[in-house]
Structure 1
Amino acid sequence: MLRLLKSSFWSFVSILVRAVSNIAINKLFAIFYGPNGITLYAHFQNLLSIVTTVPDGGVNIGLVKFLAKGQPTSGVYKRYFWAGMLLNFLCILVALGLIFGFPGYYLEAFLREVTWSSGWRWGLYFSIGSMLVTLNLGLQAVVLARQQLKWHVFSSAVMSIGGVLVVYFTQGELPLNILLLWVLAAQAISFFLMLGVLYFKRLLPSLKSISIPKSVYRDLWKYILMALSAVVCLKLTNFYIRDFVIARFDLYQTGLWQAVVKVSENYSTVYSAVISMLVYPRLAAMVNEEDALRKFVRNTFYLVMPGLAAALLLVYLLRDWVLLLLFNEDFVVASYLFDYQLLGDFFRMWSVILTNLIVVRAHVKLYIGWQLSSALLYITLVSVLVKPFGLEGITIAHAVRYAATLAFAMLYYNKYIRP
């Protein structure tokens, strides 16, 4: 019981720090740089996520599973640890190769009006910073697997608060593209701190006399495949949509839409953290117990619905105040975009309970097929709806996309879980 209370406490602290930091950094970007700053900051986060998503959403999920048992001195622990770190590093190189292979597409927004040499240095600093941030997420997965939650919270806090402090103390005096690199550098510092933590906690195994069999890589590969589909179908799709909107409108109008998306991301981050810390581990523990799994999923699914509806209704009623709180008065004109954004968020967040079943049951092909279908539907809807509805067409597409996701998730539940 005491262990559960400690875990819940550190989970709450982690969620609180991330939520407050997200609110603070968005507010500071809005104050110092306005809608243009919000747009570029969101674009930068999406660029960074292209590097981090496969390692963190794929390899690290596997690491948490395989490093949770056994002793850090065991051969199994050593093999999975170093296999995970190697796969993380290779994923980083592939992602950076993709980004720098198409610099005009991925980097143009950050390198406008700079010389070639300045652009080269910007790319180098981004590569180093994104590599350290991604490897740090791997180290966080290790302490999470070993139930060292306070160190996981510590690392997350350093990354979150570091970025906020950089934006606050520079007071809008730096060019946006340079400021983004400083934010990344502040987050990267956590890697060196976590390296020290793992060393002193004796969670950093030696490389001596280690041979990694192919079976270890195969165990981690299925998680990489699911994470790859998330990159292609979520991160790259979001990057494409944002680029499409910037081209159709301008940075200011795109920033208004992104402000609403940022509000969505703030409460979604809290919700996702709760699900990943409290619901997903229970699903994983019951994966081979059909009756218990069925009962838990059904109860959680219907328990979450009224709470979500009430919370999102409150956000809708306070939307003008929320925009003022998180940004400034320039963003209040975006309040009309909340209608379909919140409806889509309701469908998406409610369906998460069911879509987690696909991950926990390792239905890789189904997961990838769902991600591809969802992304193609979203791109098609945006391209069709933007012309007649303007910016609101994007939020309508968002609502339709996740209504379809919820319908798919319920069909999956009925076929694989419900008798």
Structure 2
Amino acid sequence: MIRHFKKIKSSSLLKIFSLTGISVLIKLISSYLIVKLLAILVGPGGIALIGQLQNFTSVFTTLGAGGINNGVVKYVAEYKNDKTTLKQTMSNGFKITIYFSCFVGIVICLFSSFLSRVILFDEHYYYIFIFFGISLILISANNFFISILNGFTEFRKFVIVNITTSILGLIFTVVLVLCLDIRGALIAVVTYQAVVIFFTLYYIRKLFWFKKSYLWGLWDNKTVRKYATYSLMALVSAVTLPVSQLIIRGFLVDSYSLKIAGYWESMNKISSLYLLLFTSTFSVYYLPKLSEIKEESQLRREIFKTYKIFTPILLVGLCTIFFAKEFVINILFTKDFNPMKALFFWQLLGDFFKIFSWIIAFIMVAKSMSRIYIFTEIIFSVMLTLLTYLLVIQNGLIGSVQAYCINYFIYFVTMLLVFKKLLFKKIG
């Protein structure tokens, strides 16, 4: 037992989890300060509006990058020792990013008034979308460069960039919120990643791949087709969950009020804060690792090793948050958010199933299993929306988190069934 614990303790996954934890801790503190400031200044209704805009920007940030960032991580990890293929992969990826971000940015600017009315329920905020359209090329380029660092498994550099961008993003957001209130918060949501690219460029300027030969070569149709699989997967993923959240939030606003929708959004924000530690580790270590593995037995070992490490951490973390929920609400928000307490049990249980399912589901991304990935993303986003409608009508706001829990439990079972041969195949 002791030897088993020492083996886990010395594993590279736990080391990366710990290293990533430093980055995530800084990001958590930054996010906490921003959320706390917003909770005090704009209340639950303002939090709901910001959630609307964040869902929108997540969709169009992925569209603006051509949906290739996971593909960049995979192919840089796969071809990092093949200089010729690596140049083709990176240069074509950068071209796709620039072309898509320019096109999508122009479209957002042209339809800014319409988008303001649909997303923020008021045409007066049209300038927010113009800011976003102009910023999109810088945001997309920043995410592309960070994906390259991830693909090269430059964990320390990746962590340093993330820590610095979190701090810069915090300063930028706080200044705008204090100066412009809710308008400043909305502007910060759509522009802060455009500001942090200048640090990223400074930091990577001396790396061997940051030169024209790697970033702007000849167009290669074969490479573009390989990226197309990831584009389709990423675009479906980018659209499905945020769009379902936009629909659910709109339904809660129509059925109850912006304030009630703000409680639901605030519960999502709490989840996203602590889940960041797991999702960051998956992106930084787990995806490149799964992409490199060729043998089924080795893949199975990596999956079960991840479960062994993450299960106790997840259980302890979720139980702590549940029993300290009132403290968490008061620390993160204000006493006005106390009605959220009823949402914690089902939300945290849903998060447990979400992480357990993601550990398996990442295989679909790492191995370019586009058909099953797209099918499950669409089906479970639609299911989440329908379940929320049904259970909110029946049980009120608590039905929204019950629907979330049921949806991810079914998703976890589905992942077990999809990969049952890989996971439960007898060895020897």
- The TM-score bracket by the shorter chain reads 0.7 to 0.9
User: What do residues 367-398 of structure 1 show as CA deviations (whole Å, max 9, x unaligned)?
Assistant: 11111110111111112122121211111110
Q: What is the identity, as a one-letter code, of the residue corresponding to 1:52?
A: T
- Identify if the C-alpha distance between structure 1 residues 362 and 127 changes in structure 2 by more than 3 Å, giving closer, same or farther: same
The residue correspondences of 1:192-341 to structure 2 (distance < 5 A) are 192-206=198-212, 210-286=217-293, 288-301=294-307, 304-341=310-347
The residue correspondences of 1:11-410 to structure 2 (distance < 5 A) are 11-54=20-63, 58-68=67-77, 69-70=79-80, 74-93=83-102, 95-96=104-105, 106-108=115-117, 109-110=119-120, 112=122, 114=124, 119=126, 121-170=127-176, 172-206=178-212, 210-286=217-293, 288-301=294-307, 304-410=310-416
SS in 2 for 1:107: helix
Q: Any stretches of 5+ residues in structure 1 without a counterpart?
A: none
User: What do residues 294-313 of structure 1 show as CA deviations (whole Å, max 9, x unaligned)?
Assistant: 23323433553344233212
Q: Any stretches of 5+ residues in structure 2 without a counterpart?
A: 1-9
Question: Identity rate of aligned residues, in percent?
Answer: 25
Q: What is the identity, as a one-letter code, of the residue corresponding to 1:79?
A: Q
Count of residues in Structure 1 that have an aligned counterpart in Structure 2: 413
Q: 306-315 vs 399-408, which deviates more?
A: 306-315
Measured after TM superposition, the shift of residue 96 of structure 1 is: 4.6
Q: What is the identity, as a one-letter code, of the residue corresponding to 1:23?
A: Y
Measured after TM superposition, the shift of residue 34 of structure 1 is: 1.3
CA distance in structure 1 between the aligned counterparts of 2:66 and 2:242, rounded to whole angstroms: 12
User: What do residues 339-391 of structure 1 show as CA deviations (whole Å, max 9, x unaligned)?
Assistant: 21111111111111111122222211011111111011111111212212121
SS in 2 for 1:47: helix
Measured after TM superposition, the shift of residue 285 of structure 1 is: 3.0
Measured after TM superposition, the shift of residue 277 of structure 1 is: 2.9
Please report the RMSD computed on the Cα atoms of aligned residues, expressed in angstroms.
3.0
Output the TM-score relative to the length of structure 2.
0.86
Q: 175-184 vs 334-343, which deviates more?
A: 175-184
Measured after TM superposition, the shift of residue 98 of structure 1 is: 6.8
| 8 Å CA contact 2:66, 2:97 repeated in 1 | no
CA distance in structure 1 between the aligned counterparts of 2:191 and 2:37, rounded to whole angstroms: 18
Measured after TM superposition, the shift of residue 207 of structure 1 is: 5.7
Output the TM-score relative to the length of structure 1.
0.88
- Identify if the C-alpha distance between structure 1 residues 235 and 5 changes in structure 2 by more than 3 Å, giving closer, same or farther: closer
Measured after TM superposition, the shift of residue 107 of structure 1 is: 2.2
| 8 Å CA contact 1:354, 1:409 repeated in 2 | yes
CA distance in structure 2 between the aligned counterparts of 1:316 and 1:200, rounded to whole angstroms: 46
CA distance in structure 1 between the aligned counterparts of 2:371 and 2:300, rounded to whole angstroms: 22
Q: 357-366 vs 160-169, which deviates more?
A: 160-169
SS in 1 for 2:424: coil
